Structure formats: structure tokens, C-alpha cells
Structure 1
Amino acid sequence: MAIGDLREVTMGDCSDLYYLDTGMYDTEAYGAVYILDTDRPAIVETGIGTHYERILDALSELDIAREDVAVIAPTHVHLDHAGGAGFLAAECPNADVYVHEIGARHLVNPEYLVKGTKAAVGDQWQFYVEPKPVPEERVVEVTDGDTIDCGSHELDVIHAPGHAPHQTMFYDPANDAVFTADAAGIWVPSIGEIRETSPPSDFDLDQCLDDVETIRDLAPGTLLYTHFGPREYSEDAMDEYGEVLSKWVAAVDAQRAAADDDEEIIEHFVEEGEMDEIWGETKAHAETAMNTRGVLHYLDTHEGM
């Protein structure tokens, strides 16, 4: 699947559902946006704002008028998921933007979010664009247990705070599919493996493992990863991510005991990285550095680690 490609999700019971490779970080198969083609069309996730026109092109390809889009639903306000919300809201004038109540204010005034993102992503900021604020009257705050009306489909809101306190997953009962946000890790379809995601400063291992169990209890037919694409659900997928996360945190903790400072630890894992050939050196190194910083912050703030 190449950057800009739009494909129908045909896995499991899915219908009326498409996903787009947005070309996030100029990297193939890293950032997906989903479109529900219903009588109340919905865009789930919005990308980082860069190349948001690709989402508008996908609407055109599906013969969905911008004025007909009813729902824009980022799973959380990290800019790789919500950075395009303001741009899409401006182009889809009848759509409301649904987001967890903890993060809603950051879409209206993204100043603090931008500052935090720059600190977290470092050199990756070159791929971003300053987000466009979403008008306050267009933001609908949701929380665990709420339902978003998408016409012939609904999105059940499930709070999943391990990756970030404002993260939600969305379960589509008609499709028996869950939009996983970052709660199930990063799915790399080209190698059939799950990679960790542990950015600063909100990553919490215990809560992340609880989120994995939430998905396990739900046992949907299909997992819809923002990073990247659909995957058939299995118990093994949940076991795999729980193990990946636990081993990752343990590895950083062990290296911290052997190294003099955090930058030395970060450099160690960057040099050991295995994703250069998949994501390219620039993205792979930046991803590893960010994830290492997130674990170091977690270890610093949790006793007994």
C-alpha cells in the first residue's frame, strides 16, 4: 500500500469502511485515517495535519460531499491523531469533532499541545504543521460509555488511558471492529510484528496493560490500527503486545542501571534499532528516541522500578 492509497476494509464483518495511507512522516504504512461511508459519514483519526488534502481526496473518491460529513473523531489529541482536526472541520462545515473530555480544550487552543509535542518528538517536528484550532461550538466532549451516532453504524467510546489520559478507543458493533488508537501498539504489516509506543510524558505501563485486557475482554473480530491498518483479532495479538511492552520497559530499566545518563541510554537503543529498513533511518531513530524518553519518564515517576 503506497502513500495516498485508499482501500476498503474487507476483513471480518467490516462493511462501509475504508482506510487511507496519509503518508505520515513521509513514511508508507505508518499513519492511517478511516472513513465510514454511511448516511452520517465519519472520519476516524485525522493525521498530523500535513497532507490533510489526501483525506479530502479520499472523500471525493468515495463520492462523499464534504458538507455531508457528520463526524470527525480523533481517538486522542496527540497531533499524529488529531493534528488535522481543525483543517478538516473547516472543510467539512457540518461535522462535529468528537474527542475525550480531558483533551477537548487542546483542540480549541492547541498552544500547550504544540509545545508538548515539540518536546516529545524532537526533530520529527519537521513533518508537522501548526494545527488549526477547532471552534469550541464544534467540539463534542465524550467519555467512557458514550456512543457516537454515525447513522447505520455507531461508535462506542471506550476510555483507554495507558498511552495518554485523553485516549479513547471506538468500538463499531455493526462491524465488530475496534479502532485501537495506540492501545494495541504499532502494527507493522510488512513484517507481521507489533512494536511498542511509549511516548513521554503520559505513558503508564500498568494502565497500558489494562487497556490490552480491555481489548481482550471485548474480543472484536477486527483490530483497526492507526499505525497501521486492519488486522484480524486474536488472543495471540494481545499476548504479543503485552509481552512487547513489558520487555521494552524492562530493557530500558536495565540499561539505565548500566549507563551514566539518559542521553547515553537513548543513543544505545537508537543504535540497536531494527526498523531502519522499514520506516527509514530518520523516522526509525526518532521513534526509538521518543519511546525511550517515555519509558525513562515512567521509571522516574514510579517507585519500585
Structure 2
Amino acid sequence: MEIGDVRQVTTGDCSDLYCLDTGMYDTSEYGAVYILDDDRPAVVDTGIGTNYDRLREALAEVGVELDDLEVIALTHVHLDHAGGAGFLAADCPNAEVYVPALGADHMVDPSRLVAGTKNAVGDQWTHYVEPEPVPEEQVVAIEDGDVIDLGTHELRVHAAPGHAPHQVVFEDPANDAVFVADAAGIWVPETEAIRETSPPSNFDLEQCLADLETLKAIDPDVFCYPHFGPRYVGDDVKGALAAYATVLEEWVDAVAAKRAELEDDEAVVEHFAEVAEMSDVWGEEKASEEAKLNTRGVLGYLDHRE
């Protein structure tokens, strides 16, 4: 997909589902937002507010009027997933913003979220805009076991706190699909490879591995990745999840070994930025900054584990 493309998802038996390439970080096939065109039309995640106009245009292309949008479902409140929620809520007064309960306050008052994001993403902040607060009356806090009824489809909420304590995944039984948030890693369609995501400050390896067991138990045919796109896994869900478990474990081991060797955390961060493997796909800047972010997350996890 190219930046701004909106495509109907026909992976597996999916219906009523559309995927937008938001052009996050000025990179194609990195940031996706999903639209479910149902009795209660829904958007799953919103991307960063920087690319909000593309989401408005996508809704128009799909045929969903702003006044008709009823559900804005957020997998977690990291700004690359929820940064556009305030803009969308303002334009869609009939929409409710469903957000994991642990992150709900950050949607109403995003100031602490912004400060934490600036600290975490470093130079990548130039790709962001300050998020708009979501009116409290539009916020609906959700927890594990809740169900958001859309009509033909429903979004079943499953806690997945390894990537962040406020993360959930949404199961769509009618499509035999799961909107996996960052629980299943980063899918790279160009290379058909899975990559780690381990940002600070709450990355937890053991809980991430437990989240993979949650996805295994759901056993869907399709993973809908926010990074990036739909992927058919029905023939080998266990294999796909086992592969990501291996990626995560090997990544944490690599950072731990380099820390032991260099005995300087900033040198560790710079090392992995310099040897980042995704430059040919995401460009040198994004690949380097992604590596820095993920390395810092693992270093924080190692501190906590020790």
C-alpha cells in the first residue's frame, strides 16, 4: 500500500472492513487504521493526529459520514494509536471513544501522555502534533471481557498488557479476526517478516509472552496489525505466535549481552541504531529511531527485572 491508500480487507473471510495507510512518520506500510462499516460504524485506532486528514478522507471514501460514526475503539493510548482520537471525537459528536480503563484519564487530559511520549520517542516527536483532549462525556472505559456491539460485528475486549498496561486486543468473531494492537509485533508486508516492538517505559517480556498465549487461545484466521496491515494466519496461528516469541526473546538477549559488553546504556542504544536492519524498508531515519526506542524499552525492562 501507498500512503493514503484505503483498501477493503478481503483477507480470510473478512467483510465490511477497510484498512488505511496513514503515512505515519512519513513512511508507507508502517501505520494502519481500520474502519468497520456496520450498523454502528467504527474506527479501530486513529494513528497520530498528524495524519488525521487522511482518516477523514478515508471515512468519506468508505461512505461513513462523520455524524454517523458511533465507535472509536482504541487498543491503547500510545499516541501512534490514539493521538488522533480527540480530533475525530470533535468532528464526530455522536461517537463514543472506547478506551482501556487504565488509559481513559489520558484521553481526557493528555498532558502526561504527551510528556511521556516526548521522552520516549526523542527526535521522532517532529512527526507528531499535540493531541486534542477527548470530552469526558464521550469516553467509555473498557476492560477485559467487555463487548462493543456494532451490529453484524462485535469487538470483544481481551487484556494484553505486555506492551503497555493499558493495552487490549479486539476480537471480531464475524471476521474471525483480531485487531492485535502491538501484542503480536510489527508485521512487515514487504519482507513478510515479524519485528519486535519494545518501547519504554512499560515493556514486560514475560507478560508479552503471556499475551501471545491469549491470542493463541482466540485462534483467529486473521491478524489486523496497526503496524502493518492484515495478515492471514489461519493455517498456522501457533507458528506465527511462536515465531514472534522467538524474536522477542532473542532481541532481549541481544540487548542484555551488548549492555554487559559495553557497560554504557547510551552506547548500547547507539550501537543498535547504527546496525538497524530496516533502512531499506522504512528509510534510515525511521529504522534508526525505532531501534533506539526498542532498545531503551528493553534496558528499562532489564533494570526492573534485576
Q: Assess same fold via TM > 0.5.
A: yes
Opposite residue 253 of structure 1, the aligned amino acid is A
SS at match of 1:182: coil
Report the count of equivalent residues.
303
Corresponding residue for residue 8 of structure 1 = 8
Corresponding residue for residue 44 of structure 1 = 44
Scaled by the length of structure 1, the TM-score of the pair is: 0.98
Corresponding residue for residue 195 of structure 1 = 195
> Which stretches of structure 1, 4 residues or longer, exceed 6 Å deviation after superposition?
none
SS at match of 2:50: coil
Corresponding residue for residue 210 of structure 1 = 210
- 1:87 Cα offset (Å): 0.2
Counterpart check, 1:300 vs 2:303: yes
SS at match of 1:200: coil
Counterpart check, 1:177 vs 2:195: no
- 1:260 Cα offset (Å): 2.7
Corresponding residue for residue 126 of structure 1 = 126
Corresponding residue for residue 250 of structure 1 = 253
Q: Distance between the aligned counterparts of 1:250 and 1:158, measured in 2?
A: 28
Q: How does 1:1-305 map to 2 (within 5 A)?
A: 1-233=1-233, 234=236, 235-303=238-306
Q: Distance between the aligned counterparts of 1:189 and 1:116, measured in 2?
A: 30
Unaligned regions of 5+ residues in structure 2, if any? none
Q: Distance between the aligned counterparts of 1:160 and 1:179, measured in 2?
A: 12
- 1:64 Cα offset (Å): 1.1
SS at match of 1:129: coil
Opposite residue 126 of structure 1, the aligned amino acid is T
Unaligned regions of 5+ residues in structure 1, if any? none
Opposite residue 251 of structure 1, the aligned amino acid is A
Scaled by the length of structure 2, the TM-score of the pair is: 0.98
Q: Distance between the aligned counterparts of 2:50 and 2:142, measured in 1?
A: 26
RMSD of aligned alpha carbons: 0.6
Q: Distance between the aligned counterparts of 1:267 and 1:113, measured in 2?
A: 25
- 1:7 Cα offset (Å): 0.4
Q: Distance between the aligned counterparts of 2:239 and 2:24, measured in 1?
A: 28
Opposite residue 203 of structure 1, the aligned amino acid is F
